[in-house]
Amino acid sequence: MKHTVGLILLAATFVGCTHSVPVSHAQTEKQTQPPKSNPVKVAHVIVALCDNVHQGIVKVPARIGNGEELVDNLYWGASLGVKSYFRQSTAWNLISTTKPTKGDILERAVFVHKATGAVLVADAYRGAAIKKATVDYFDFLSGRRAEPLRVGNREVSLGGGADLVAYVGHDGLMEWSIPAPTPAAHKHRPLAVALACKTQQFFGADLKATGATPYVMTQSLMAPEAYSLEAVLGSWIKGKDAHDAVEAAANAYAKYQKISVKAARTVFVAGTG
């Protein structure tokens, strides 16, 4: 996969998503107690697989735009997709992959940061389930649905128990809406990252409702490829603030998209985290 494939997305036109079904938040779930603190930093990444049929994107080559296919999908198995890119990274080790036999998550990949032991768990949602992926993202940011996971000899918490939750893929909220998130009663909220087109604008209201703190969002059309995510996570692991994370993301984006850093800075926007 050539690095320039991401440029296809920058010419995107957005149309209504006619294949989605209503998805509601888990409003009846009782979560009054905060999850246990993680022994290391934990990031949970929601990846909505690129899908020519079920998403309002400009059509990409069929091989990378099949929302049921993991191996070559633009946002997962392609060279700049989340799984492939982090698997090749010198900073991360791929610990495990699992493929659920049912449901909308087609694969889970677990990575550990070599220098710090930080954990990255990435879930690949089938492209047709982009609305479910979006709802899950905001549920997690609301502090809901913490999920325990053993990584080596440690137990960490995902979902609403993660320290950072990121969304990667197409911004479906440009086309449809979701029910307002219902925050958990406890105070824990993951930091929020959203790498899709114009997420500051289209994710903003729902993000505010969760009570979570934005770390890095976007303010223009963009290619949500994994180098930007790695740059953001690298800054977060080092304890850098959102402005430093944006600068790191802009430098990575400029390198791979072959544009100036000045132009790349206009893609990302720092939150308050």
Band the pLDDT of 273: cuts 50, 70, 90: confident
Q: Is the pLDDT of residue 100 over 90?
A: yes
Span of 10-14, 61-65, 212-216, 237-241 with lowest mean pLDDT: 10-14
Compute the mean pLDDT over every residue in the chain, rounded to the nearest whole number: 91
Model pLDDT, residue 16 = 32
- pLDDT tens by residue, 166-208: 999 999 999 999 999 999 999 999 999 999 999 999 999 999 9
Number of helices (H), then strands (E), in the chain? 7, 10
CA distance 255 to 141: 30
What is the spatial distance between Cα 160 and Cα 150, in angstroms, rounded to a whole number? 16
Write down the pLDDT at residue 254. Answer: 99
What integer pLDDT is reported at residue 59 of this predicted model?
94
Q: Which CA distances in Å does 50 have to 25, 117, 130?
A: 23, 30, 9
Domain boundaries, given as residue ranges, for the chain = 35-227
Percentage of residues in the chain having pLDDT higher than 90: 86
Using DSSP bridges, classify how beta strands 154-158 and 105-113 pair: parallel, antiparallel or unpaired.
unpaired
Residue 6 in this model has a pLDDT that exceeds 80: no
pLDDT at res. 13: 31
**Lowest-confidence pick of 30-39, 69-78, 178-187, 203-212:** 30-39
Q: Is the pLDDT of residue 147 over 60?
A: yes
Residues 110-121: what's their mean pLDDT? 99
Percent of the chain with pLDDT over 70: 88
Longest dimension (CA), the chain: 48
Stretch 125-151: mean pLDDT: 98
